[in-house]
Structure 1
């Protein structure tokens, strides 16, 4: 059968082990993100913070051929029917924990330079999400302006931030203004900025997996209720890998709060929360069967599909099977919206040419 060709709104890079140690000056390199693997555990060091996680041989054996090699990655994409990819870091997610300003600025520059030089320069089908310093708003703004000049179309921020630095706070206003001015989408990837193990007990594996989605909803709530999207109508945000069907429900809940508690709702918005959400909030999913009815039955059209390559939760090896199950008996127009067109609203990749 002919392939269903798609663009992926959620994919990842696996950085080389020496990315930061080889690119940073000696006085910073030992505190930059690095990983040491033992027989049973991996230890991650970031700015003198230590994180340990158990190793699973299955995870290593699962890695697709192109996990670390761009040429093989493109071959995997062609085989799976993936045309364009928005790519997030993997190890680079840990940079959001860095509190030292000099180290944070140098670490994000090193990743972004590598992503531009080694990945994006290698193929226009790859759209890199640049990472930003969380240690300094001023440095984050400077990096937004720098990566925009390098051809990036997107920047990443974590869904969880420190207490007192929530995205509703004025602290972030220069970042929103800079991203809007540079026409960069801000992508918030779920499961970032905090310990992934929120619960240790019966059912923890599933509970913790679900827990990663809630902060993405909180990001939308803050940016809408605090008036960020209203003040910046050209700013587009993406909640990556968190599904889509929750968006209409959240929009309804926010509208109710804004109407029923209008006397206390400040700032006043120029439109209902739901209108701002449907205008400026985008989402990506990979397996969720509820995401398609979010478009067809609930009218939320800013939905894109993602393969999560090369992570375990992704669709490598069964992408076409997954797509056919998702879009069986779905109108072509809706399928094109989710698989190709929503991605192109945010990102530019070359047109696919039939062989």
Structure 2
């Protein structure tokens, strides 16, 4: 482990443990792992032409076989999905980024090859990385939406086997596994959490706002999610929620420019944290930890203050779960984590945010990635914080969150 630096921006900088990066799955993830009878129906990559249609300022539609260049398509049941350049764009000038598809041959190899990823991490002052999926989407929505649930379950398990054995297996612990669950079955989800925890996985992807996916919310009176939450609580598996994992990004109006949506990406994480703090889940599962990816951190102090004030002044009619017997913010201590790549206000407000809950991301290979400038960013942060806080932000809190210390 990298030592704590001794002083200021010129001191030795701690190597980063990034809690939000992404992997573009190699084309053979499912064709090499699914039973032979399913390899022509499970997720697979085919080559075909694509016409890219900009429907609105915030909506792009891809036409399989349309009048356009050839690209690589993921095909699964009725789904035909290319890979937009902006999600595999490291190495490209920012001014050239588009939503047009990109072929595997055009990507930087670190997008999908673990050895190349480690080399790119070395170039980016990064020791460890936790990666969310691309084709299945941030919490496996592609499998939730599939018609054949048996095949979808096999697809989830195949992804997790590949993630643990191939993507992370040869990395010497530098690539950290983040697994999926069958979102449609909380009992099977609990079993999958325990199966992967036994293999060293301590992070699972979940949706920030389940109701947006047609699933019961964390407020469900029948405790729908309790088997899954209990398995995470028991195994020390962190529930990781990426912005967009509810398949709906906040935007003010259909004709708002893309910049409006980009400015509001934190909002779903904000809504989700209020849900969790006022649902009683964290009170009922006292070891359960949750983490918000790419939501930034500057908004967190107000949410904590607001829910506490509601508990103090309005608990009699606020309809809160009776399990909440203390200030809602008290359940967040040491158990709720945020992460940022660009949030000076959050860093300067770190005591109000809670220094113990701040983690860092490089977001490789997305359009917001700090690659290969992460060392420069750490140097700038070092000018705002002391060495101990810098160490906690860059790596210490992430290692604690994942049970690696």
TM over 0.5: yes
* TM-score, length basis structure 1: 0.88
**1:312-339: per-residue Cα shift (whole Å, max 9, x none)?**
2111121112222233141111111111
Shift of 1:179: 0.7
Count of aligned positions: 350
Q: Cα distance 1:112–1:57, how it changes in 2: closer, same or farther (>3 A)?
A: closer
- Provide structure 1 residue ranges, at least 5 long, that are not aligned to the other structure: 351-355
Shift of 1:273: 0.9
Q: Which runs of structure 2 are paired with 1:1-355 in the superposition (5 Å)?
A: 3-25=13-35, 28-34=38-44, 38-41=49-52, 45-49=75-79, 59=89, 62=92, 63-93=107-137, 95-99=140-144, 100-123=148-171, 124-161=173-210, 162-163=213-214, 165-169=216-220, 170-196=223-249, 201-264=254-317, 265-268=319-322, 269-347=324-402
**1:217-274: per-residue Cα shift (whole Å, max 9, x none)?**
2222222211000011101100111111211111111112222221123323132111
Question: What is the DSSP-based 3-state SS (H/G/I as helix, E as strand, rest coil) of the residue aligned with 1:282?
Answer: strand
Q: Cα distance 1:44–1:256, how it changes in 2: closer, same or farther (>3 A)?
A: farther
Question: What is the DSSP-based 3-state SS (H/G/I as helix, E as strand, rest coil) of the residue aligned with 2:332?
Answer: helix
Residue in 1 that maps onto 2:58: none
Aligned-residue CA RMSD in angstroms? 2.7
Q: Cα distance 1:255–1:3, how it changes in 2: closer, same or farther (>3 A)?
A: closer
Question: What is the DSSP-based 3-state SS (H/G/I as helix, E as strand, rest coil) of the residue aligned with 2:182?
Answer: coil
**1:146-204: per-residue Cα shift (whole Å, max 9, x none)?**
11111111111122323451122211111100111111111111112314585775443
| Structure richer in helix, relative to its length | 1
Greater shift, 191-200 or 336-345, is seen at: 191-200
**1:76-102: per-residue Cα shift (whole Å, max 9, x none)?**
212211111122222232632434421
Q: Report if aligned partners of 2:297, 2:353 keep a CA contact under 8 Å in 1.
A: no
Larger Rg: 2
Return the alpha-carbon distance in structure 1 between the equivalents of residues 199 and 316 of structure 2. 46
Greater shift, 45-54 or 160-169, is seen at: 45-54
Q: Report if aligned partners of 1:127, 1:347 keep a CA contact under 8 Å in 2.
A: no
**1:31-84: per-residue Cα shift (whole Å, max 9, x none)?**
544555635545654543456786579937635442222222212212211111
Return the alpha-carbon distance in structure 1 between the equivalents of residues 204 and 387 of structure 2. 31
- Provide structure 2 residue ranges, at least 5 long, that are not aligned to the other structure: 1-9, 53-61, 63-72, 93-106
Return the alpha-carbon distance in structure 1 between the equivalents of residues 360 and 87 of structure 2. 28
